[in-house]
Amino acid sequence: MKILVINGPNINMLGVREPEIYGTSTYSDLIVFIEKAAFRLGVEVAFFQSNHEGAIVDAIQEAYGTYDGIVINPAAYTHTSVAILDALKSVGIPAVEVHISDVREREDFRQISYVRAACVATVMGKGFDGYAEAMEVLCET
């Protein structure tokens, strides 16, 4: 099984951005964490991070025919992007939405997720563990 892990804007700033919400571990730490979890699950994993909506759409389209699952933390684009929703629907690859923080307990504008309609599950508020849980869900899907 091949899984593509996509992270949206400002996830590259983990460790620096709002540590009281996102913790002090960096994006590189996240990669290492996911690689270890993928190894345990026996899945192949690749990574993509971008601060640009269109680049994320391109990455989803390019995943078609190559990846069996997508783990996506669209970050702020979760709450705004019909384009990412449409891209996920276009390729039809099983996808799981992940958020490091528990967006349910945050601002009103974070209560909408456009991408959720194209995802088989959502994991939120579990920190980095949420990415491992998302991969487990894809293994069972």
The residues of the shown chain that bind ligand DQA, judged by CB under 6 A, are 10, 73, 75-76, 78, 99-101, 103, 110
Cβ closest to ligand DQA, residue 42 vs residue 108: 108
What is the smallest separation between the CB atom of 106 and ligand DQA, expressed in angstroms? 7
Cβ closest to ligand DQA, residue 68 vs residue 128: 128
Cβ closest to ligand DQA, residue 38 vs residue 123: 123
Query: Does residue 22 carry a catalytic annotation?
Result: yes
Return the C-alpha torsion angle 105, 79, 62, 54, nearest 10: -140
Sign of CA dihedral 38, 135, 129, 10: positive
Q: Given 67, 99, 114, 131, which residue is catalytic?
A: 99
Which residues make beta-bridge pairs with 97? 72, 122
What is the smallest separation between the CB atom of 59 and ligand DQA, expressed in angstroms? 16
Of residues 82, 130, 81, the one with CA closest to residue 102: 130
Order the strands of the 44-49 sheet from edge to edge: 44-49, 2-7, 69-73, 95-99, 121-124
What is the smallest separation between the CB atom of 16 and ligand DQA, expressed in angstroms? 13
Q: Active-site residue numbers?
A: 22, 99
